[in-house]
Amino acid sequence: MKNEKFVSMVQKALQKPAAVVENLGIIGGMTNLNYLVDVDGKSYVVRIPGHGTSSLIDRAREIQNLKLGSALGINPELVYFNIESGMKITETIEDARPLTKEENMNLDLLQKVTTIFRTLHHSEEKMNHAFHLFAMMEEYEMLAIEAGSDFYKGFEKVKNEVKLLQHEYSQMPIEQAPCHIDPACSNFLIAKDEKMYLIDWEYGGMFDPLWDIAAFSLEAGLGIKEEKDFFELYFGRTVTEEEQERIFMHKIFQDYLWSLWTLFKEEQGDNFGLYGRHRFERAKTNIQLYKLRYGMKFTAQ
């Protein structure tokens, strides 16, 4: 995007036609382009939707999620949001830094993460829409097919096994709660005062809260001890076997879903290297581990 056009968009959004806008560069993000900008001496983050996001994201739902997160004090204040274009502007958090996989995931850090999750999952305010995981899997597959994606080797077998796992999951009693759905490390910001925030609410909806727990553990690459500490901090007790199984299921579902997301996004012009293939291969591996651990008999269809 040309800088003149970008500056004009920011000025119009903030209703400051004469503002001096300085683009300080791109920061983070896989789904979208996020720019750090200085407007008359004040810093903002401007989100410009990435390739193909109009087929993936419901912006009306996203703004509701953002407002809930802000009301709960776990999302930065929203300055501007355009439902039609998906452009978003938020105030920056002073000297904030994103959480990274390389950090020492000590108890203090994990406590901050679980505090955010408990605040969200136990909120009395509910999201007025649901996250439909299995419908989304089918939608992403269809989008990838229509885009002409070259599917991963062994895809049909994994797809059938995921469907069987879906059947097992559907038998479990689940109490839905507000969920973020995409709690990657880069979506956690730590402010100068050490307060933590959770950003990027595009996929949020009412769903099984253990999805978020599984996602963070997977995205942060938690080891056995770190994961045990994380679970105990979140639950306030030892995780049950049923909860552990649901978390394991969600890890498989997540790798399968986001590998499909990657196939579609790359056909729209993005390049994520081996990201999608790695997630797909991990799903295959974890399906085999699930069979060994829980004794489920899979019969490929």
156-186 pLDDT tens trace: 999 999 999 999 999 999 999 999 999 999 8
Token pair for 44: 């903002």
Domain boundary among 91, 126, 144: 91
CATH, residue 114: 3.90.1200.10
Residues 280 and 239 in one domain: yes
Nearest in space to 204 (alpha carbons), one of 69, 91, 81: 69
Q: Are 75 and 69 in contact (CB under 8 A)?
A: yes
101's tokens: 């996989």
Q: Is residue 234 part of a domain?
A: yes
The domain in which residue 282 lies consists of 97-294
In a domain, 300, yes or no: no
Do 216 and 285 belong to one domain? yes
**What CATH number is attached to the domain comprising 31?**
3.30.200.20
164 falls within a domain: yes
Of 27, 60, 91, the domain-final residue? 91
- For the chain, the domain total comes to 2
Q: List the alpha helices (DSSP H) in 122-240.
A: 133-146, 155-170, 210-220, 224-235
Instruction: Tell me the per-residue pLDDT of 59-75, one tens digit each, with 9 for 90 and over.
Output: 889 899 999 999 999 99
Measured distance CA(251)–CA(238) in Å, rounded = 19
Residue 179 phi, psi dihedral angles, 5° rounding: -130, 150
Q: Are residues 147 and 126 in the same domain?
A: yes
One domain for residues 27 and 146: no
Cβ atoms 222, 105 nearer than 8 A: yes
For the cut 90, the answer to whether the pLDDT of residue 97 exceeds it is no
Q: Is the pTM of this model over 0.85?
A: yes
In a domain, 299, yes or no: no
pLDDT at 22 over 90: no
